[in-house]
Structure 1
């Protein structure tokens, strides 16, 4: 009988189930929202939308409520009373996109619970508005607390990034970069041997001035999903001995469950010089002042129409830009993948310069063991080439920039019908010949591979235990090639040249990292969560650079063995680090969140390779709005937070041990004792940072305010101290100082309008940093410039670490400026009207001084644009050119230090997205997205700085001595047209 009743009523039970179908679309655009979670409220019954936003879910009865949610969108609950098709509109949510931030080597936390001001940059903010040439350049103006300065405008990058001020005088000052868990090398390696031609390091400063590119430029910004910036030790302590300059954590794009998606994008455009210095307004008398007969030569050239603006001749190219990207992604229930190919080509504003980068990426995620284990694989291959020209300082008058400083417009420098270039009578080189015939190239082949295994060892209602294993390798070969043919004016033996130079530099670099962590979660019956983690880390670093220079070449041969004189130098470095990390996190109902932990590191780079150095951290955050006493309706969020942490910085190369050099005297080989004595007892620099602040949300988080104050002290600065001459040395490395950085960071973000057809989001950032040398156990010393007669940096107790000093008109040593800005402000806006979006970013840097020596060189050449103006002389008598020359000869550096403030439209973009209905009608569902647009970078630049660009650094990515200018490769502005199609 029971069986009979079951047979009778089972069909009725099955028929009682209802199927709801529909589509999830993004509010305002109508575009389908892929991979949204659709769950029957109060149950585990759920599904997800496909790539076009379509979904289907079967429920036992109606009515029901469906919860629709996903990362990056505000959650929505939809009541459904009848079966059939429905449309669900969801809103994009910036707050959701920034939901989690890193708090441990194996864990993260919701942003609303974070105790640090960790900056997060999404893929859209990073590269969606204006595709950048390099990753580090894309960061400028995007977050508070950074001073980002170009070390060269040459294609292929070269950028200094300082987070919350200068953190070292002699040690590393660039942040640590982590890409998908892999420690990524960001060295600037000069292997081309340009100094053999320029002699730049033989003058007043022995630092390398070849301005190579940073290796972080190899990473394709279009591959990046998000960037998190740990700006100080309070957040970066988890990375211990390598994190004093901050940490930039990069996560690349992953595949999503659903059918395979294909995306194609093409950018095309051009670049032009950002700003010309201009020409001197010559007359016959002024031309005659350059030498007897030059007045007549000027008049003859003007009459024949042969006056040439050589600045525009050299820098006037419109470099063609082409960025092509194709990516394919998708996945099944257990496996997802993302693969991408990109080709980026950009010609420079100088002929025969350019940058070409090809990148292939493949990321894979796979779950197994009933989803108890997850394997993630991240792979990237990069092939890049950069032709960088021949620029910056030199002591031989041969770089293109220096040659231009003495070349008047009536000089005849163009080749004849046979292609032979005349010598430049006004300088040591013909800049057109140099531009057209020299080679200065960087070639990189690079593999970055990372893997991560996340395994659930134990899982219960109130607790779970995970094992997380990770590892990665960053391997690259860098080939630097320089060729200066013997036909060059300055290579001819008759001009005391080298009779041709060919240089080949090879660098093999391999960095590897490994880690193993256990993470345990336990929640009490009163919703107090304990998350414990402990683990081990190991890093190995290897670099081998060999530089070969051949001179006195045979004919036009470029092989090294075809030179009569060959010199070889080699630099090798190996390092092995080992560390452990333990951390405990407590969370009481998302109301009170606290963390305490410690990192211990030992390294072969320390005097005692077995000695551990410890870096503790502690933080707390309180969400006051979550408590019952909170009664402020307009303020829906108010969190107070405080964090403390310590991080380290290794001693610079050569500080620990005395490095002897070879010698050859009368044919007898030997060694030579250097001037600087190593110190095996030296300890790492240690940074200690305290950060306090609050986060507030108003009007249901339509307006958000973030405030942070930090105070970070760097103890045990590694400096050079004078020692007794009787020792055979002049100086010795020692821990001999402390410095302090204090600053504030304020961020304000508002959804001004949130309507169906019009949205406007705006963000304002204000930040400033002040530094001071609080302890100095050695005599004050100068570094990073060319002496007190031209302006230099000075380390002095009680003064800013970035102060610029020099002699004044009375011969007294005085403070002339400071390279640190008074403050910085950025203002970003994103506006959407129906299918149009318009976005822009302004950046204002107030204060911060540069040492501008380009002016002085053009004064010596008599071609400065303001040579005849009278504005520098306080007495209002002497023209600028003679005044600056006179100051130099008197040892007065005052005219060479200039204010480097600017207001810059960093990015602007206008895009149009074709409506989804139109695409469905025309392409029948094969095209899911079609967007076209225009963008530009650095299109508006307002500054009084008397040169090409206030963002400049002759000494490359060195963190301290940025802001020194000697005839750089000028910066450029970029114009791009865009097409993006999704299938």
Structure 2
């Protein structure tokens, strides 16, 4: 008996793990492509309650599978649904979906739909396309050339970003022209805050400390692209209407990476790179006679001739352009991420640090970020998600662009010949530059212009199922968050600088606090009366607030070695505070019939504290129709695998500029008595929001077993009651007045092609090609046309004029008087993104971007002409037989046509070659990825300045003005990453 009992006990012990396995019923799977290569990052939904993600080798183990319904989905692949108890093999094969028909797209503040049933043209950018080819310095830079329907333009090459993004044309003149950025449900502030450099450059008239010509960076540059999972771009009102008053210029929805169930995965990556100038303009080759020609005074000419011959004999002929812009910046980017979780809680954590030097000494960019995203399922009916992000960034941007005192580096360089001596002596003392107001080498070495940011972004998502039956489900969904940052700008110009002889040292200290909040609370009911009909009703309310507080202190006669504004002989302070409160109510109905016809209708009621009547709700409707002809049986699947017709209409609004409804008060001091007087800019108490109406229609279809897909979209977008300033007669007591001045229209075409030209076990080639164009026209204008931005008719200017393009450039045109000289809007744009993979391990990726047409006002060459240093100064190609630079100067006052220049280009924006090692048996290392990349390395253009992407006036209406900016750069980098 004892022996038999012992045998039973031993059998139980031996069988216990098997019993546990049977109870656990775990399923181990490997997800692969059709060519046998593993797919990492596949999202696996188990009974719509649990989610898991495959590892770097495409493997996943699902505990407690039982008879669960398992859905496999990944971007670029067709979704697959299986039942766990019917599995006959451990390998799951996903087919590529070139048309991304199973991709889920946002259609409302709390609803979404698959792309195959989408009524709008919504562009998407995956994490792979965003940052896995040739990572850009900042997020805004990473978007360049990737969004069909967008005109994206770098304001300058200065470290720290600064990008203009316009979706489907001009949406405002004086209002907001940039899209709304939403990160995990949080509305992100994207302000560009002046550092007050106009106090020393006098670039803008009146000498005001703040100026759009300071060229600051946008705050969206703070976000780390490596943290992003995907981006959706809602380009027009028909898609973005539900987002309300901040969505008139479009919405860019950013979703960051989330946790996943399973063993914690660790990824460590290191990028090392070199940053160099993309293009130099060259310098004039001087001779003794050419040196003498720099002055019309005989005595001075003789002195210049001797100065040149002495410098030539001593070997002191310099290429100052190359010396100042030829610095090689070293780039380092380190990333650490952890992803994991259990059945109830999952997390994603990342820590990153980016440190990049500039092509000009003492300039560069540094960004340190921490992110923690947590998702927790409280019960089967309640789940909550929290996203947190801390960012500390610092950008040293130098002193560039337009100025009227000769202080900026580019302006000083433009009039400094190669035989001038600018280098310091043995004691470090810089000589005075006799050819300019400043010594640019001294300015680079001694000045400081820094933007530093501390930023916290926190978002909260709550989803609770209130009711669930066989045919109806009701959920409460709440989303929102807080975006808070402290921005400090610090510009220091010591009194030893040549051009500080009057101010005797200037310190400009700016302090900005910005708090933005937003939330949405909604109820969403999904009613499915039958297998062929599904109705989704959503309703809720939203609120957004903003509190921006900027204090700028300009101190002069600063004590040597000091930067505190209190250590100065004179101090001037300005403060700008803006607040707003926007709120809205919305309701939306979506109907899906036989998963082929989708009908959407909604309306939003919006009000804003910036409106003339802050209590009034304005109504903005939207509607959409999507009809999938193949899924509805109208067209049999044969040549067409999928064909869809779609149309959508929507309205959105852009709130008036802050303060436009008020007539402000200005400080006055009479006989030592402080007080206030009425400002010379008059407000309008009845100011209305700018209203945008858009109708878009299109067709999408795919053929050749979904290996080739096309997308065609036409849109017509009108903006009514756009905001402008009207000049008033002096007898009114005011110089200008805010008013709703007119209407304009944009219309355009967007074409897209996605294809898999080659697909085999050894080679796979994925490609996409996009084409887009936009045309604008001012339909109505109730005020006389006046120049907007730039420098007036003499050198070329933008001008809003009835019956003309909203982006036309006008100026003096010889005997024709003032005429149209060009247009900033490109004739068309195209891009192509390609990825060729060999044996699933070696990957070649590249992005080409072609901008055809679109003019800039190029004044950089003119400045060098004035200074006698243009590289082509002495060439003679003009009909008058004089040096070309002299000929160009002679045109001033007669025609501005010579300064309006075609800014077309073909650019290899990104290229990368990567190899993945993933055969590490019995090792804690899952994969190693190594590669090299090139960013903006090749540009083909006839444009005669540093870069055709430029905007001296920043991100507003007047883009494309070129006045000696910080030159553009290119970068080459080596990458290595480890997955554990």
- Per the normalisation by structure 2, the TM-score is 0.93
Instruction: Decide whether aligned partners of structure 1 residues 541 and 280 sit closer, same or farther in structure 2, where only a CA change above 3 A counts.
Output: same
Does the 8 Å CA contact 1:341/1:359 hold for their aligned counterparts?
Answer: yes
What is the distance in 1 between the residues matched to 2:78 and 2:744? Answer: 45
Alignment equivalent of 1:164, drawn from 162, 168, 189: 168
Partner of 1:372: 381
Matched, 1:460 2:438: no
Q: Deviations over 1:692-750 (max 9, x none)?
A: 00101111210010000000000011122244533311321111200000100000111
1:284 is displaced (CA, Å) by 2.1
What is the distance in 2 between the residues matched to 1:820 and 1:45? Answer: 48
Does the 8 Å CA contact 2:414/2:869 hold for their aligned counterparts?
Answer: yes
- Structure 2: runs of 5+ lacking an equivalent: 1-14, 296-300
Does the 8 Å CA contact 1:227/1:251 hold for their aligned counterparts?
Answer: yes
Matched, 1:881 2:879: no
Partner of 1:5: none
Alignment equivalent of 2:250, drawn from 246, 249, 253: 246
1:886 is displaced (CA, Å) by 1.1
Matched, 1:740 2:714: no
Partner of 1:948: 946
Instruction: Decide whether aligned partners of structure 1 residues 930 and 486 sit closer, same or farther in structure 2, where only a CA change above 3 A counts.
Output: same
Partner of 1:970: 967
Partner of 1:6: none
Matched, 1:186 2:208: no
What is the distance in 2 between the residues matched to 1:547 and 1:209? Answer: 16
1:681 is displaced (CA, Å) by 0.3
What is the distance in 2 between the residues matched to 1:699 and 1:654? Answer: 57
Instruction: Decide whether aligned partners of structure 1 residues 251 and 46 sit closer, same or farther in structure 2, where only a CA change above 3 A counts.
Output: closer
What is the distance in 2 between the residues matched to 1:316 and 1:36? Answer: 47
Alignment equivalent of 1:651, drawn from 634, 643, 656: 656
Q: Secondary structure at the match of 2:890?
A: helix
Does the 8 Å CA contact 1:16/1:60 hold for their aligned counterparts?
Answer: no
1:932 is displaced (CA, Å) by 0.2
206-215 or 599-608: which moved more? 206-215
What is the distance in 2 between the residues matched to 1:92 and 1:767? Answer: 26
Does the 8 Å CA contact 1:341/1:361 hold for their aligned counterparts?
Answer: yes
Instruction: Decide whether aligned partners of structure 1 residues 571 and 758 sit closer, same or farther in structure 2, where only a CA change above 3 A counts.
Output: same
Matched, 1:640 2:645: yes
Instruction: Decide whether aligned partners of structure 1 residues 35 and 853 sit closer, same or farther in structure 2, where only a CA change above 3 A counts.
Output: closer
Question: What aligned pairs does 1:654-669 form with structure 2 within 5 A after superposition?
Answer: 654-669=659-674
Matched, 1:347 2:357: yes
Does the 8 Å CA contact 2:30/2:38 hold for their aligned counterparts?
Answer: no
1:56 is displaced (CA, Å) by 6.4
What is the distance in 1 between the residues matched to 2:906 and 2:375? Answer: 44
Partner of 2:11: none
Partner of 1:405: 414
Alignment equivalent of 1:228, drawn from 226, 232, 236: 232
What is the distance in 2 between the residues matched to 1:19 and 1:337? Answer: 22
What is the distance in 2 between the residues matched to 1:949 and 1:76? Answer: 47
Instruction: Decide whether aligned partners of structure 1 residues 954 and 529 sit closer, same or farther in structure 2, where only a CA change above 3 A counts.
Output: same
1:23 is displaced (CA, Å) by 3.5
Question: What aligned pairs does 1:487-506 form with structure 2 within 5 A after superposition?
Answer: 487-492=496-501, 497-506=502-511
Q: Deviations over 1:873-919 (max 9, x none)?
A: 3x25232211111112x3421211111000100000000111x33x2
Instruction: Decide whether aligned partners of structure 1 residues 295 and 638 sit closer, same or farther in structure 2, where only a CA change above 3 A counts.
Output: same
Partner of 1:449: 458
Partner of 1:363: 373
What is the distance in 2 between the residues matched to 1:757 and 1:819? Answer: 46
Aligned residues: 955
Alignment equivalent of 2:931, drawn from 914, 930, 933: 933
Does the 8 Å CA contact 1:578/1:601 hold for their aligned counterparts?
Answer: yes
Alignment equivalent of 1:536, drawn from 533, 541, 551: 541
What is the distance in 2 between the residues matched to 1:425 and 1:537? Answer: 61
Matched, 1:24 2:21: no
Partner of 1:856: 862
What is the distance in 1 between the residues matched to 2:887 and 2:22? Answer: 95
Please give the root-mean-square deviation of Cα atoms over the aligned residues, in Å: 2.8
Instruction: Decide whether aligned partners of structure 1 residues 567 and 697 sit closer, same or farther in structure 2, where only a CA change above 3 A counts.
Output: same
- Structure 1: runs of 5+ lacking an equivalent: 1-10
Q: Deviations over 1:475-494 (max 9, x none)?
A: 000011011000000112xx
Does the 8 Å CA contact 1:204/1:786 hold for their aligned counterparts?
Answer: no
Question: What aligned pairs does 1:884-895 form with structure 2 within 5 A after superposition?
Answer: 884-888=888-892, 890-895=893-898
Partner of 1:143: 147
175-184 or 205-214: which moved more? 205-214
What is the distance in 2 between the residues matched to 1:483 and 1:749? Answer: 51
Does the 8 Å CA contact 1:51/1:258 hold for their aligned counterparts?
Answer: no
Q: Deviations over 1:239-260 (max 9, x none)?
A: 1111111111100000111110
Question: What aligned pairs does 1:291-302 form with structure 2 within 5 A after superposition?
Answer: 291=295, 292=301, 293-302=303-312
Q: Secondary structure at the match of 1:237?
A: helix
Partner of 1:3: none
What is the distance in 2 between the residues matched to 1:810 and 1:665? Answer: 50
Partner of 2:771: 766
- Per the normalisation by structure 1, the TM-score is 0.93
Q: Deviations over 1:2-32 (max 9, x none)?
A: xxxxxxxxx9x99999997553345547447
1:148 is displaced (CA, Å) by 0.6
Matched, 1:318 2:315: no
Alignment equivalent of 1:440, drawn from 449, 456, 460: 449
Does the 8 Å CA contact 1:659/1:674 hold for their aligned counterparts?
Answer: yes
1:207 is displaced (CA, Å) by 4.8
Q: Secondary structure at the match of 1:663?
A: strand
Instruction: Decide whether aligned partners of structure 1 residues 20 and 591 sit closer, same or farther in structure 2, where only a CA change above 3 A counts.
Output: closer
1:90 is displaced (CA, Å) by 3.8
1:283 is displaced (CA, Å) by 2.2
Q: Secondary structure at the match of 2:72?
A: strand
Q: Deviations over 1:524-576 (max 9, x none)?
A: 23621110000011111101110111101223222111111110100011111
Instruction: Decide whether aligned partners of structure 1 residues 285 and 669 sit closer, same or farther in structure 2, where only a CA change above 3 A counts.
Output: same
Partner of 2:276: 272
What is the distance in 2 between the residues matched to 1:20 and 1:262? Answer: 23
Question: What aligned pairs does 1:104-115 form with structure 2 within 5 A after superposition?
Answer: 104-115=108-119
Q: Deviations over 1:599-626 (max 9, x none)?
A: 1111111111110111110010100111
Alignment equivalent of 1:423, drawn from 429, 432, 436: 432
What is the distance in 2 between the residues matched to 1:314 and 1:627? Answer: 65
Instruction: Decide whether aligned partners of structure 1 residues 659 and 460 sit closer, same or farther in structure 2, where only a CA change above 3 A counts.
Output: same
1:422 is displaced (CA, Å) by 0.4
